[in-house]
Amino acid sequence: MKIIAIANQKGGVGKTTTSINLSAGLAARGKKTLLLDLDPQANATSGLGAEASSENCMYHPLLGQARIQDKIIPSRLENLSIVPGDMDLAGVEIELAQMDDYLTRLRTILESLRESHNFDFVILDTPPSLGVLMTSALAAADEIIIPLQCEWFGLEGLAKIIHVIERIKEAQVNPNVQLEGILMTMYDARTNLSKSVVEEVSKYFPEQLYRTFIPRSIRIGEAPSYGRTIFEHDPQGAGSLSYAGFADEFINRRAGRP
Ligand code: ATP
Ligand code: MG
């Protein structure tokens, strides 16, 4: 089981869209996948056509009042389960911050899933902040994927999150966490800006940059309003092909790794 955090403290860069469609893509390829919605906005939950739930979200497990195993529900899609988000998670930020072990609680909870061997991948969708939920996700993850919008300010945000990952490693909170990849989102091949942002990223992170770019696409933007993945919403479209390509690249990169 590998725990993958989809993270970027910058808002609106495609974290949730990537969480939903990577999870669906992995599930379609036969990988048992759990999508864990750690964002009080619960966009990953509604985008997948599931219901936000104060009862079933991570609120009680994070406070030690319930087991995550009892919060996992099947999604419409084969091989894909979800722990829904809920706005109650905003309260957990405050309550957790008062606990000494707040950073490692999520990690400990997910370790209990590892032992049950039910999942190949756990995908963490994180909120846009450097708060407790987001840092808990970084502390719990084996690997981090950073979706990066093809905009200039995106590069500044990238430097910041990489700094946070380094600090989490150095503080021995999660020394083995890997920056698995950087996924360019909302790419527009017609603009020089998109191209120069990609050039800049590939200069500093040649290994991490995924070769697949996610284009800016109206279909990708509207799919969540129908509660559908892009594969359901527009199976033949460019958005669908790009997220399928990304799921393949994600899996192929791991070939030969434990
Ligand atoms: P937040 O930080 O608020 O959680 P996020 O990083 O999770 O945001 P998304 O919610 O995935 O970002 O995307 C932000 C908005 O852009 C959403 O309305 C989404 O539907 C839209 N969007 C995401 N990816 C694309 C794309 N490739 N093309 C067009 N629109 C997109
Ligand atoms: Mg989001």
User: In a 10 Å sphere around its CB, with 0-12 CB exposed, 13-18 middle and 19+ buried, how is residue 227 labelled?
Assistant: middle
What is the reported pLDDT for 115? 84
What is the reported pLDDT for 68? 96
Q: Which listed ligand is nearest to 17 at the C-alpha?
A: 1
What is the reported pLDDT for 177? 96
- Kindly state the tokens that stand for 162: 């990489």
What is the reported pLDDT for 154? 87
Q: Which listed ligand is nearest to 147 at the C-alpha?
A: 1
What is the reported pLDDT for 97? 86
Residue 184 C-alpha from the chain's centroid: 14
| 198-249: pLDDT as tens digits | 999 999 999 999 999 999 999 999 999 999 999 999 999 999 999 999 999 9
DSSP label of 68: G
Ligand 2 centroid–CA 121 distance in Å is: 19
Instruction: Tell me how far CA of residue 61 lies from CA of 17, 54, 86, 187, 220, in angstroms.
Output: 25, 12, 13, 37, 32
Residue 185 dihedral angles phi and psi, to the nearest 5°: -120, 160
The residue type of 218 is I
Ligand 1 centroid–CA 81 distance in Å is: 21
**Does the C-beta of 226 come closer than 6 Å to ligand 1?**
no
User: In a 10 Å sphere around its CB, with 0-12 CB exposed, 13-18 middle and 19+ buried, how is residue 42 labelled?
Assistant: buried
CB 1 within 8 A of CB 120: yes
CB 70 within 8 A of CB 55: no
What is the reported pLDDT for 258? 74
What is the reported pLDDT for 253? 95
What is the reported pLDDT for 235? 98
Residues of the chain with pLDDT under 70: none
**Does the C-beta of 12 come closer than 6 Å to ligand 1?**
yes
Phi-psi region of 30 (alpha: psi -120 to 50; beta: other; left: phi over 0): left
Of 13, 15, 17, the one to substitute when testing ligand 1's pocket (max ligand atoms within 8 A of C-beta) is 17
**Does the C-beta of 154 come closer than 6 Å to ligand 1?**
no
pTM listed for this prediction: 0.97
Ligand 1 centroid–CA 246 distance in Å is: 16
What is the reported pLDDT for 102? 93
Q: Which atom of ligand 1 lies at the shortest distance from residue 128's CA?
A: 2
